[in-house]
Structures are given as structure tokens and as C-alpha cells.
Chains A and B, each alone.
Chain A
Amino acid sequence: MAGTGLTAATRQAVIETPLARRGGIRTTAGSTVRGFGPSAFGLVAFFVVWELLVRVTGTPTFVVPTPSASFARLWENLGSYSYELLFTLAAAGAGLAIGLTIGVTGGVIMANWRILERSVFPLAVILKLVPFVAIAPLLRIWLGYELAPKIVLAALITFFPVLVNCITGLKAADPLALEFFHSLGANRWEVFTRLRWPTTLPYLFAALKVCVNLAMIGAIVGEFFGAEYGIGKIINRTSLSLDMRSMFAAIMLLALTGVTLTILTNVAERRVLFWHESVRT
């Protein structure tokens, strides 16, 4: 009996729409692949020009090293740098986890209780307005030279974007969907779990994309102010000894890490938010 009452035109639409969409996705994927070409070219060109400039102008290595020399140094030190990087990643990861937990918990509470939003949110704004670099030395004095101050720093920077986006997302539920839920006598918990929370996910991913990099910045800045381990410590130390090659090697490793983390976040977003416009288009 399938489609008995359908007009020919509707049936045509029924058949064609998903195919057309799939075609659309294929086009997008194709353009991403094509998009790699120019960006790879730009990257290579950047390094070539850099290399040439340094060689042609005879710039001394202790001012700007050639990229080839920096890569070579990175390759030599990959083992020890990666070991240091693990500490930075651990601090950033733990800080991000705490920032996410505080941001989401706070967001859920504030979105549900107006009074709390009005009383606590300004505090969060003030906390956010203090330049976090200014707190770093204080945290080192209070919390020492290990992971703790870096974790706190990363958490301090990341909680706010998560909090703001979480509140916005929780209030962004489709009003008609809300009416449908209410017309069925849904309780608050059901509205939250089945409507408000899924609606919030795109907002949280937008925050996460920013916060992944912010957490790294927090951890590295923390390491600048004194740390036993971490890639920030390497950068700090090499800058004192003007070992520019090693310094650039460490920076390149961080850039690579940043790219990897961003790609991972985007992959996760595509998996979770396959239904959302931001991912589909």
C-alpha cells in the first residue's frame, strides 16, 4: 500500500530528494579534497620562501633559523619533546575537562534558575575579564611547579565560552517543538534530555573548537612561569640560551599538535552533529 495516495510528482520527489542530498554531500567531500591542494601549496610555499629568505639574506641562525634546520632539530629531539608535550597535553586535557564540567553544569543550573543566572553570571564575567596571564604567577606560588597550576589555568580560560554557549543553547530550543512536548504533558526532565540538551550540542561544539586551543595556551603559559615538565618549559629554556633552532622545533611541534587537535575535534563534531546545518553545509 506504500505510496498509494501519492501523486507521480510527489513520488518523484520522494525518490529524488535523498539522492540529491547524497549528491550534495559528495560534492562537499570533493571540494574538501580539492580544498587540500591550495592549502598544502600555501604551506609549502611559505616554508620555501622562509628558507630562501634566510639563506639569501644570510640571516644568522640565532635570529631566524631555516625551517629545514628546525625540522631536523625536531626530528633529533622528537622523543624528548614528545615526552614533554605529553605533560602539556595532560594539563590542557585535564583543564579542558574541568572547564567543560564547570561550564556545562553552571550553564544547566543558570538556564534553569533565572535568579542564579542573575547572581552568579556577573561573577563569571569578572573572573573571565581578569587577564589569565596575570593570575599565572600567583597560581605557581599557590600550587607549585607540577600539573596543578597549569590545569587550573586551562580550566579558567575554557569554562567561560562553554558556560555562555551552554546557556544560549539551552534557551534555543525550537518553540514549536517545546509546545509539542508540553501538549503531551512532558515534564522538565524529559524536555531537557530529549529537546534542550540535543539542541545545545552544536553550541557546545562551537565552544569546544575554541577551547581546545585555549586550553593549550593556558597550559603553555603556565609552563612559562615555571614548570618541571612541558613543552612551554622547553620554549622558555631555549629562549634563555638563544637556541633558536630548538625553539622553532618546539613551536613547530605545537603547531602540528594544534592542527591535529582541531582535526580531531572536527571529526568528532561531524560524527555527533551529522544532523546539524553547520556540518551538512
Chain B
Amino acid sequence: MPVTGIGVPVSAGVTPSRYARAHVVIDGVAKTFETRTGSVEALRQVSLDIQEHEFVTLIGPSGCGKSTLLRIVGGLIAPSGGRVEIRGRSPQDAQRTKDIGFVFQQPALLPWRTVADNIELPFSLNRGSGTDRLCTTEEILTLVGLGPFARAHPYQLSGGMQQRVAIARALIFDPALLLMDEPFGALDEITRDGMRYELLRIWSGSRKTVLFVTHSIPEAIVLSDRVVVMSARPGEVREVIEIALPRPRGMEVESTSEFLRYAERLRHLLRA
């Protein structure tokens, strides 16, 4: 099986200290959902190491268990087998110390709170533990390009702007790991193209460790250090591709021949 060792060229040859060094360790994670009509195997033996400051993308056909894997890493679902460690601790412990920042396909903002109060929300949860701050609310609003909207309510913002608020909300408490589940999936194509580079700009400021789920090949290439291609149900790691495009990456990267080669490669893997 091509699964073992999961082509992590970075850590190849340092197997004994691998777990100690990796920021996030996903080790043999499996998930089977029990439904009334029988059991569905969503994930089979997925292993993956993520280094600190690394941007890793999961890509694969619908129903390959990408979102499930993300939720297992975030401690929202328990795996049927295997384990996940974030900085050497369980996802539940990471939740307790506010080390996980989630961004979902929908912004999931609280409509009764202003933009600023939505971003401040993490500090009022979990009895206020983990009060580290990346920066002030004003600064993060400026970072995501919503400076003048601190006192606006979510319904006054467009979908793209709401999603920026959700990103700001996941960054403000300085989590060790950012989990993004198709954050631009609900946006229109034009907004989505722009958001890709917005995210890149925001990310390059903090260089958080990111695990990102997407359906979009260009999105995966532009954003990632590594792209993990998953196979359809049951989800398995088919291949891990390192994206060697130099950073910072701008919109022009999408017309380079390297980009097109990566895209062709990914398209081929996803079709196979």
C-alpha cells in the first residue's frame, strides 16, 4: 500500500523523531459511520504529518471524507481507529487550550452580534482560557480588509465579507492550527478567485499551520506547500504533491508553466 510513510519528503529519514517534530500527526485514522442501512466506511488508514507553518491542502472527489478528516483533526468527531496529535496532545486538549481555529464553508457568524463582537467571541468562550491575542480587533479587521465595518452586523455584509469575518474570528486568538473546510465553497467564482489571494496575503503575515479542504485545483496549488490527493470512498491518501512554486505568490502564478503542470498532474490523479 502506498499509504505508509505518506510521502513526506521533508521528514523522510528521520522516522524515530518524526512524531516529536511534526506539528500535527495524523496516524492511521479510520472512520466508519454506522447508519440505519448499514455502515459506511468514510476513511481508511489515513496518515499524514504536518509541520509547523505549513499550508497543507486536502483535495479529492465529493464524499472522499476530506471534511470528516478535518473534523476528526479538530476533535469534533471521534475516529473509529488511529489517532491525531496536535503539538503532541489530543484534539480535545487542543480545544481546551484554544489551539484550533475553524473556518467552515458558511461563515456561521452570530447575526445578533456586530462584526467586532463576532471576532471577539472566542475570548468569551471556554471561560476565557487561552487569552493570547494575535492582535487587536481593529488590526485584524484591517488585515482582512474590513476596517470600517467593525460596528456593522453580518447581514449588512456580502458573502465574501462575512467569510473574511469568519477567518478573522479564527485567527484572533492565535490558534496553533487553522482548519478550513472549503471556506470559499459557497462564494461565486469571481469573489472566490480574489479570496484565494486575500487568504494568501493574510496567511503570509502569521504563517499559521493550515489544513485546508477544497474541491478547486487552482486553489490548492496557489495556496499550498503540499497537496494531499485523496481517493473516493473509502477515503485514502492517494498521493502527496509538494508545490515548489516560490512565495509570495500572486495572481500571475496561475499562468506559469509550473502551475499548469501541477494542475495537469492533479487533474490526472483526481480522474484516475
A contacts, CB < 8 Å to B? 1-7, 9-10, 13-14, 17-18, 21, 174, 176-177, 179-187, 190, 194-195, 198, 274-276, 280
Contacts and interface: CB of A to CB of B under 8 A. Distances in A.
B66 interface: no
Give me the 8 closest cross-chain CB pairs, A-B, nearest first: A176-B108, A2-B147, A186-B125, A185-B95, A185-B126, A275-B111, A177-B108, A183-B102
18 contacts: A3-B147, A4-B145, A5-B197, A9-B190, A13-B158, A14-B149, A18-B157, A180-B102, A183-B179, A184-B125, A185-B126, A185-B129, A186-B125, A187-B126, A194-B124, A198-B110, A198-B112, A276-B112
A153 B108 CA distance: 42
B11 interface: no
A185 B148 contact: no
A3 B145 contact: yes
A180 B96 contact: no
B155 A280 contact: yes
Contact of B161 (A14, A176, A280): A14
B56 to A, nearest CB: 18
Nearest to A2: B147
A274 B154 CA distance: 12
Contacts of B101: 183
Interface residues of B, number: 50
A17 B156 contact: yes
Interface of B: 71, 74-76, 95-98, 100-102, 104-106, 108-112, 121-122, 124-127, 129, 142, 145-149, 152-158, 160-161, 169, 173, 179, 190-191, 194, 197-198, 201
Given A180-B169, A183-B101, 20 more contacts: A2-B142, A9-B190, A10-B191, A13-B161, A14-B161, A17-B161, A177-B109, A179-B76, A179-B102, A180-B104, A180-B108, A182-B76, A182-B95, A185-B95, A185-B129, A190-B124, A194-B110, A194-B121, A195-B110, A275-B153
A174 B108 CA distance: 7
Contacts of B112: 198, 275-276
Contacts of B97: 185
A128 B100 CA distance: 47
Given A194-B121, A275-B112, A5 B156 contact: no
A24 to B, nearest CB: 10
B88 to A, nearest CB: 18
A275 B155 contact: yes
Contact of A17 (B95, B105, B126, B158): B158
Nearest to B95: A185
Nearest to B197: A5
A48 B88 CA distance: 82
Contacts of A9: 190, 194
A183 B121 contact: no
A99 to B, nearest CB: 25
Nearest to B127: A187
Nearest to B156: A18
Given A21-B155, A198-B110, A181 B145 contact: no
A6 B141 CA distance: 13
B121 to A, nearest CB: 7
A194 B148 CA distance: 25
A276 B111 contact: yes
A54 B71 CA distance: 73
Contacts of A180: 102, 104, 108, 169
B145 A179 contact: no
A179 B76 CA distance: 7
B171 to A, nearest CB: 13
Contacts of B74: 183
A276 B111 CA distance: 7
A2 B97 CA distance: 31
A2 B129 contact: no
Contacts of A174: 108
